[in-house]
Amino acid sequence: MAKYRKLGRTSAQRKALIRNQVTALLNNGKIITTEAKAKEIRKEAEKLIALAVREKDNFEEVTVKAKVARKDKDGKRVKEVVDGKKVTVYDEVDKTIKKDMPSRLHARREMNKVLYTVTDVPKTAAGKKKNTKSVDVAEKLFSEIAPKYADRNGGYTRIVKIGQRKGDAAMEVLIELV
């Protein structure tokens, strides 16, 4: 008996498919797919969520000095002339950042092996490059998803059967975070 479903694909295609669907599930909260794919997606998603729950509070807050560009009332950088060149003026600011402990850093890197980077495009002014932003799904796992499941021992996803697909009669399911 095989330890996983082959899904009628080569290993590279199968890994890419699972990575893509796990990323979509964790980013959106639910996806619709076939039953066989959902069962494979569930395995990976449960592992990642369990890892995030285990490491969610394993960080320290550190205060660092950062150089930030000074801005005028319009939000543009202030420039001054030094030796005949325009140079941006910087101010030093104290910032508090979260510094991962070694085990959380390792967990984040293990998550990033599976998860793809997600580009979020807003509904208004869609297609504009400047309006898009990159979503860190690993950070979303640590900050949003893990606290929700902190008191739960597994069973983070639910598979609900929808019915058969019209084209090939494959059983379609909704897989969602509980």
| pLDDT tens, position by position, 24-58 | 999 999 999 999 999 999 999 999 999 999 999 99
Domains of the chain: which residue ranges? 11-58+101-177, 59-100
Parallel, antiparallel, or unpaired for β 90-100 and 59-69?
antiparallel
Phi-psi region of 148 (alpha: psi -120 to 50; beta: other; left: phi over 0): alpha
**Threshold 0.85, pTM exceeds:** no
Measured distance CA(153)–CA(148) in Å, rounded: 12
What per-residue confidence (pLDDT) applies to 126? Answer: 62
Phi, psi angle pair for 91, to nearest 5°:
-115, 150
Query: Residue 140's CB: how many other CB atoms inside 10 A?
Result: 16
Measured distance CA(159)–CA(59) in Å, rounded: 33
What per-residue confidence (pLDDT) applies to 50? Answer: 96
Residue 128 pLDDT > 70, yes or no?
A: no
Mean pLDDT value of segment 126-142:
83
Length of the chain: 178
Are 112 and 138 a contacting pair, CB within 8 Å? yes
Question: What fold characterizes domain 11-58+101-177?
Answer: 50s Ribosomal Protein L17; Chain: A, (3.90.1030)
